[in-house]
Amino acid sequence: MSSNAILTDDKTLYNKSNGVLFHQRNINKELVANIPKMPRLPFQKWVWFNMESPENSLPISKCNQAFNLTCNYHLDSDIPVPYGYMEPLTSEDERFKLPAKDKLVCWIVSNWKARFRRVEFYNELKKHVEIHTDGRAFGKRVNPEEYSRIILTCKFYLSFENSIFRDYITDKLFRPMRMGAVPIALGPSRQMYEEHVPRDSFIHFEDFSSPMVQLYLVF
C-alpha cells in the first residue's frame, strides 16, 4: 500500500476514492438499495470483503458482477488477509518461557450446533479424556482476559472451526499457538494448514483414524 494512501469511512469522499470496500456481512436485502449505482466510476475499484466462511455468508444475487476485486482469507484472493501468520523469532521471543500447565485439553466455544463436525468430534473425544470447557455453549461466558488465562494453563487446545472450507483457518488456531498450547485443528486439509504454519506445530484431526486412536497416540 502506498504511504500516501488514506483509509476513511467518510462516504462524502466516494467520488474521489480509487477503491471502495464493501463488507459482505453488512450487506442485506434492505441495504442493497444503498449501494452506489452501477456503473462504478472509471478509475474506481469495488472490493468485496468478507472474513466469514461461505456457510455463514448469505449470497446476494443483486450484487453479482458488482465487484472487481476480492479481499478475504483465501490465499488466492486479490488482497489476501489471513487470520494469522508466522514471523521469525526475535531475541525477546526467545526468552519466552512455557507457562505451567495443569489442564490437558481445553475448549472455549460459543456457537454450538449438533450437526457441526466439531461437536461430533468433541462428543466422541470427551468419552476418553477430560476436556476443560468454557464459553457460552457451556454457560460460561469468557472475556479476553479470562480467555488468555485459560489457554495459558492448557497443554492442548481444540482449535475447531465452525465450518470446513478452503483456507478457512481462523484465530482459533493462531491465538492458542501464541500462548504455548498445541492446537488440535479441525478445519480444511492438513496441506492447507501447512501453508500457514509449520507441519509439526499442530495436530490435525485427520492425522488418525478416530478420536480414540488420537487419544492413545498423542495424549
Look up 52 and say whether it is catalytic.
Answer: yes
Catalytic residue among 30, 52, 195, 206: 52
By DSSP bridging, strand 182-186 and strand 131-134 are unpaired
By DSSP bridging, strand 45-50 and strand 182-186 are unpaired
Known catalytic residues?
Answer: 52
